[in-house]
Amino acid sequence: MKDFSICPRCHASTKPATAMNGGESEFWLECTKCNAYINTYIPQPHQSAVHEDAHMYIGNFGGFGSGKTLTSREEVYKHVFLTPNANVLITANVASQYEQTIMRDMLNDLPEVFIEHVSNQKSYWDLINGARIMFRPLDDVDKIRSYNVTMFVIIEASEVDEEAFSTLKSRLRNTAASVPRFDDNGNVVMQQLDNGMQVPEIKEQWLKGIIESNPDAGWIRRELLYISDKIYKHGNVLEDVVVEEKDKDPHTSSHITSTDSNAFLPPGFIEQLTATKPAWWVSRYINGSFSYAEGLVYPSAVNRIVQPFRPPKEWKRIVAADYGLHDDFVYLCGAVDEKNGVVYIYREERTNNKNIEELSKIFYETTEDIPVGGYYTQPILDPKSGSQRDYNKKTLYDHFMDYGIAFQPGAINKDARVFRVNTYLESAKLKIMACCVGLLEEIKDYRFPARTSTTKRGSYYDKPLDGHDHGISALEWICMVLPADPSKLMYGSYDEYGRELSKLKRNTTYGIPQLQDTETQNNNDNIFLF
C-alpha cells in the first residue's frame, strides 16, 4: 500500500489539496514543502483495464454502482495532464446528467490551483497547462458540429440519440493530440491517401472517446458492442458476446462490468437494490447483461395504484399528449408533490376523430384546474408531430399554437423512457390514480416480445409489442422531464433540459387561452504525480 502521507518527490509531509469548490479534495494531496500534487486514486482491477485500454472508442458499460463515472473522471485527468493542447468535451443528453455526476465530483476533487479560468456562462474550465474541459448537453446536435476535440465523454449514453454519437465521432479530429512521424533529417513523414491527398503519418495519437452507460439494447449494442475489437468482462458477467471478425473495428473496445466488481459498495447494497426488481432488470443493471428483456414492461405498476383525490393547487402539473387521429388521442395529467418527491397521474382524457380545434377545446377543459404559473414544465406532445407538415408547411405544433397551446416534443429514445418510468415506479416515486382506467389497462397488457433463436442480432432496442400504448407514451414523456434521480424531485423542479426551474425565468402562461387578458409576458510549475 502506498504511503501518501509522504511526498514521493521530496519526502516532506502532505496535506489535502483545496478543491475547486473550496473544500478538501477527495483524492488529491499537496506537498507542504515542494510544489507537488499527488493523485491518491488507486483503481480497482476493472477500472485499471479501462485506463490501460489503447482503443480510440471505449464503451464502459456496467451495472449500478460499478464505478463507471469515477473511471471516466480519472480518464479525463490523465488526458488533460498528458495530452498536448487537450480539448475535452463532457456531455450527456441533458445538462443535469453530467452536473449531478462527473461535474459535481470534479468540483469536489480537482485542485483549484490547476484552474486558470472558469466560464460559467459558456460552461468550460481552462487549466494552467493550456487544456480545456467543456460541458455541453446534446439537446441540439447542431451546436457541436463545429467542435474539434481531443476527447469526449458521454454520460448515460443510453439516453443519447445515435445521431449525436455519430456527430461526436466526427468531431474527434483535433490534430493537436497527434504526434507526426519524423525522418532522420527531422522532416515530417507524409503518406498518400486513396484520394491522392498527402497527410502526415501519425506516430502517436491521444484521441479518445469514452461512452459510459448501463447495458442497453439500443444503438449502443449495435454500434459499439457488436463491432468491438476486444470485449472485456469484469465480475459476475455471465453473458458471452461474440463479434464476427468481419464486423470488428480495430478502434473500438467494450468493457462490461457487473455491480459486484466494486469492492467498496456498502453492505447490502445489491440486495436492497434488487429486492423488487424483475429478473430482466437484475440481469441487465446488476450483472451487466445486454440480453433482451422479456415479460411485463412495467411489472411494479400494479403496486403503485392509489385511490383518486384532488391534488392540492400548489402542486405543479405536467400535461402530455399522444396524438392520434383515428387511434386514441390521449391527454395525461400529472401532479408533482415536491415536498415528498412523488408524482401522481391523476387524470386522463381519450378521444378520436377530432380536429385540432376540438382537441384544443378538450385540452383547456382537461387543464382548467391548473392556475397561471401552475405548470412544472411546458406541455408535451408526441415528437413525431413535428416531423410532418401540411400544405401550408405547418406542423401539429404550429396548429396547436394557433389555439394558444405551446407544446414541446417528448423524448424519442424508447429505452431511456422505459428505464425512467421503471426507476420511478420501483422507487415508489410514481403513482397512478385508479380513475385512469385506460392507462392502467394498457400497462396490464404492455409486454416485451418473447425472444427466439431467429431474433435479429443487433436489433435497435427491446421494443415492446405494438398495441394500445397511447397513454403509456404520454406517461413516459412525463417521466422524462423529471430528474433522472427520483430523489432529486423533492429539491426543485427541472425543465426538459435538466435545468432547475427555480433558477430560471419561468414562462408561467403555458396553455392559457388567447381570450384571457391575464397573459404577460495560477502557477505553471506544478508537478502532477500519479
Owner of C-alpha cell 425512467: 420
- Say which DSSP state 371 is in: P
**Extended strands (E) in 68-149:** 87-92, 115-119, 124-127, 132-137
Separation of alpha carbons 524 and 530, rounded Å:
17
pLDDT the model gives residue 173? 76
Contacts of 489 (CB under 8 A, 6+ apart): 336, 338, 341, 342, 343, 429, 482, 483
In this predicted structure, the answer to whether residue 214 has a pLDDT above a threshold of 60 is: yes
* Polymer length of the chain: 530
- Ranking 2-11, 28-37, 178-187, 256-265 by mean pLDDT, the lowest is 178-187
pLDDT band at 360 (very low <50, low <70, confident <90, very high): very high
Is residue 439 within 8 A of residue 207, CB to CB? The reply is: no
CATH architecture of 43-172+207-282: 3-Layer(aba) Sandwich (3.40)
C-alpha cell at 210: 469514452
Q: How would you classify the pairing of strands 527-529 and 36-39? A: parallel
Query: Among 164-173, 283-292, 478-487, where is mean pLDDT lowest?
Result: 283-292
Residue 413 and residue 163: Cα distance in Å, rounded? 12
The ranges assigned to domains in the chain are: 1-40, 43-172+207-282, 295-451+458-503
- Would the pLDDT of 217 be above 70? no
143/222 Cα distance (integer angstroms): 25
State residue 20's pLDDT score.
95
Q: Which three cell numbers stand for residue 381?
A: 406532445
Please check whether the domain covering 295-451+458-503 is classified as CATH 3.30.420.280: yes
Nearest one of 163, 219, 215 to 458, comparing CA atoms:
219
Q: Is the pLDDT of residue 25 over 90?
A: yes
- Report DSSP state, residue 219: H
Question: DSSP string covering 126-162, please?
Answer: EETTS-EEEEEESS-GGGGTT--BSEEEESSGGGS-H
Q: List, for residues 190-208, the tens digit of each pLDDT value.
A: 777 676 767 666 555 678 9
- Chain segment 274-333, per-residue pLDDT in tens: 876 767 778 888 988 887 666 788 888 888 999 999 999 999 999 999 987 667 889 999
**Residue 131 confidence (pLDDT):** 93
Among candidate residues 518, 515, 481, 65, the one with its CA nearest the CA of residue 259: 65
pTM as predicted: 0.66
In this prediction, residue 181 has a pLDDT band, given cuts at 50, 70 and 90, of low
